[in-house]
Amino acid sequence: MAKAAEAPSGTRDLFADEVRRRKAAFDRLAQVFEHYGFDPLETPAFERLETFAGKLGDEAAALIFKILKRGVHEASGEADLALRYDHTVPFVRVIGTHGGKLPTPYKRYTIGPVWRADRPARGRFREFVQCDIDTAGASSILADAEILFAINEGLEALGIEDFQFQLNSRQALYGLLEAYEIPADHGGRVLGTLDKLDKASPDAVAAELADRGVSSAIAESLVADVLAADTDRVRARLDTTEQGKAGIAQVDDLLRMADDLPAGRARFNPRMVRGLDYYTGAIFEVEAPGYPGSIASGGRYDGLVAQLGGPDMPACGGSIGVERILAIQESGHQQHRGLDVALTVLGAQDEIMRLASQLRRRGLRTGIYLGSSGKLAKQLKWANEQHARWVVLYGPQEQSEGEVTVRDMESGEQIRIAIGEVAEQMSRRIEQP
Amino acid sequence: MAKAAEAPSGTRDLFADEVRRRKAAFDRLAQVFEHYGFDPLETPAFERLETFAGKLGDEAAALIFKILKRGVHEASGEADLALRYDHTVPFVRVIGTHGGKLPTPYKRYTIGPVWRADRPARGRFREFVQCDIDTAGASSILADAEILFAINEGLEALGIEDFQFQLNSRQALYGLLEAYEIPADHGGRVLGTLDKLDKASPDAVAAELADRGVSSAIAESLVADVLAADTDRVRARLDTTEQGKAGIAQVDDLLRMADDLPAGRARFNPRMVRGLDYYTGAIFEVEAPGYPGSIASGGRYDGLVAQLGGPDMPACGGSIGVERILAIQESGHQQHRGLDVALTVLGAQDEIMRLASQLRRRGLRTGIYLGSSGKLAKQLKWANEQHARWVVLYGPQEQSEGEVTVRDMESGEQIRIAIGEVAEQMSRRIEQP
């Protein structure tokens, strides 16, 4: 009985200030993506269970919320639907469903909740918003650049001033392996080890590489390549293979196009790998002081649409970690949206209601005292709790004179206004406080 | 395999124009409710299954989407969570969870999806948006009036010009039964029969009343009361009981306050019952020509919060049938959001990308040709498909002269602009077309 009164584990009730703050952030992001020519797409909260089958790794699949069959099939205990785990699988499903009717290339953004049965923890929820942009059907580096620029402007729109794109390319990484003649079937694990250089010492990483069958001379050289303060050393290495050349060309194209961005906004990071296997071309991660981990990431994933059951088409995309950003910003953005005008009720209900309508139609956030107390002190206490900017009093004396008393709740000052002019005068005061 | 590529039965993928149109409608409604001092509330997509237990009738309970337990408990085939069926049960649960921390009275609005495993049909979906406003903790008729006015302004904000509130009161209905000495335990069924007068003939309804144990003289008089063109007859009847007097007083309070609304916007309809049992005071339904059924409804439900497990507090609310309204309006509101500017790519990628950034930062929806064709004709075809207003050409000749050619896609006219001035000039043209 007690539990029935709680929100489910790992979920939140979002109240006024938080809903408004989140909506404002999502709206700003949507506007940026619209300017970039991305189209909004909304898919259902759930997909057929088979849509996810084999499309996520085992670890992810275990976190899917499954929906029981309905009606007479409920007793079977079987599931046929699943809450969406991310926006990528539904995006690819949509390309499969609507393919020919979609524009080419298809550029879409989605800002909406996903659900994961993760172990709840501080700041980790089972329902959280993901913000994705993707372009399917374009192999041009301009498509990669658009994603990067849109993410850049999205982060600026969220008020983040200081951040940096780490750029790399999967081809550059494979080119590097090729330059050292590391066999392709070792490649994934070797890159996974290199990815640890942010946390582990160069020696530890070199040792792990040696464990993976890389000679210790090569392991040390490889680590030194990607850690060198300037990138000339690794560039020279990449220049020895076709893959390496292609990869560094992608990175340089992006760096050149990003030349107009604030100095240092983007840099080539030869040891940035990105965990997910499916990337095939340019990749990026965004870091910002004061934010743990990366606040945005993305890249090109040319094989994934076909692999997830869609047509064979190139694609690239990016994602902003908007929940993480909002959580960090939370403390700094506390602001109540109070009432512009609070109307006390000392008789004359009909006139009060009429006055409220007039104020509301002029866009003033207006509250009426709905309690049962006829005492002014109690009504003023309510107005205070509502963070009201002005309070309107309309007692017997005001009524007999066809006026209202308006109290400025900041200064305590009171003025009399003819009742027919209240709405106009108050809306002027709101515009020019 | 084929099915995996389809959206689940009864759900939709919402594409650009529809997402934008829906968002605009929801934003307009939210703004109205904000002006009325309602606060937004967002609850999780799912609640604990026990939160719904015994709170919905059997018919509704059968339509709940249940979520399977996770991890090792999945094999049990048991569910522990359920997608929200409406916004009322979560609203009451929130009052139970956060009670003391909420303002008094608590006025909230919610515009968000609910899920029902209804048999899919044309215009009936398993995922659809409900738009609710409710006030808990106020018994004043001003709270009822606020709901009514907010719904009125919400419908106007949706562009509905001609609609009418049917007003009644549960007390008036019970008073009417009392005046005819119809026993209280018959009351519900008698009112249910009266409610059929919109579809069935007076004789058929009188006959059904007689079946329910009402004498045929009383049945005929009762039907004549509520069908009479003017309401004096039923008012005289209501005046004979305390309940009836209280009920008609509520209706008259609301009618008087609604006096400022367009003529005929609200009327007393003594045979309007509202299907749901839980209403206890004033009730309303809104009808509009061209829209089947009612497009909004609501009323006072003082017992429900306690009945659903919350504290004992008065409450009233209303709901706008926004999906129904949007579905009817759909045909009339077709509009593509095309590109403001389409940039062709005839070499000089970096300059094009830079130009795109400048245009986008000025708020112009800007697309870059991302395809592989170097042919202008093909690129212009793409710009056309994108409903582009202007196309920018930047070929070798333009490059050598530091200019771009801008083509007006409506008139076909072409002008040359210095590349440094394109963003400013184009944004001026957009503002003053």
Q: Per-residue pLDDT tens for A376-433?
A: 999 999 999 999 999 999 999 999 999 999 999 999 999 999 999 999 999 988 775 4
Q: Which two tokens stand for residue B142?
A: 């001003």
Nearest neighbour of B3 by CB, restricted to A50, A142, A253? A50
Note whether A115 and A65 are within 8 A (CB).
yes
Contact A23 B40 (CB under 8 A): yes
Helix axes A141-157, B349-361, angle to 10 degrees: 30
* Pair type for strands A366-368 and A341-343: parallel
Contacts of A6 in chain B (CB under 8 A): 48, 97
Helix axes B170-179, B242-257, angle to 10 degrees: 150
Task: Give B283's strand partners.
Answer: B168, B299
Cβ count within 10 A of residue B368: 24
Between the ranges A265-279, A331-345, A352-366, where is the mean pLDDT highest?
Answer: A352-366
Contact B365 A103 (CB under 8 A): no
Contacts of B79 in chain A (CB under 8 A): 68
Total-model pTM: 0.93
Confidence check: pLDDT of A176 > 70: yes
Contacts of A115 in chain B (CB under 8 A): 45
Query: Which residue from A minimizes the CA distance to B316?
Result: A370
Nearest neighbour of A13 by CB, restricted to B97, B337, B357? B97
Q: Which amino acid is at B307?
A: Q
pLDDT in tens, B3-54: 557 899 999 999 999 999 999 999 999 999 999 999 999 999 999 998 888 7
Nearest neighbour of A365 by CB, restricted to B19, B37, B98? B37
Confidence check: pLDDT of B225 > 80: yes
Contacts of B51 in chain A (CB under 8 A): 4-5
Contact A371 B105 (CB under 8 A): yes
Q: How far is the C-alpha of B125 from the C-alpha of B121, rounded, in Å?
A: 7
Note whether A52 and A120 are within 8 A (CB).
no
- DSSP-assigned letters across all residues of B285-344: EEE-TTS-S-SEEEEE-TTHHHHTTS-S--EEEEEE-HHHHHHHHGGGG------SEEE-
pLDDT for residue A334: 60
Cβ count within 10 A of residue B47: 23
Query: How far apart are the CA of B396 and the nearest CA of chain A, in angstroms?
Result: 19
pLDDT for residue B1: 39
Task: Give phi and psi for A37, each to the nearest 5.
Answer: 80, 15
Query: How far apart are the CA of A98 and the nearest CA of chain B, in angstroms?
Result: 9
Proportion of chain A above pLDDT 90, given as a percent? 77
Whole-number Cα distances in Å, B418 to A257, B342, B399, B415, B422: 20, 17, 10, 10, 7
Probe site for chain A from B351, B370, B394 (most A CB atoms < 10 A): B370
Instruction: Kindly state the average pLDDT of the residues B368-397.
Output: 94
Confidence check: pLDDT of A154 > 90: yes
pLDDT in tens, B356-375: 999 999 999 999 999 999 99
pLDDT for residue B117: 94
CA angle centred on A428, ends B145 and B147, rounded to 5°: 10
Specify the 3-state DSSP secondary structure of B268.
strand
**Among candidate residues B408, B411, B416, B410, the one with its CA nearest the CA of residue B391:** B408
Identify whether A433 is preceded by a cis peptide bond (ω within 30 of 0). no
Instruction: Kindly state the average pLDDT of the residues A79-101.
Output: 92
Nearest neighbour of B370 by CB, restricted to A81, A135, A360? A135
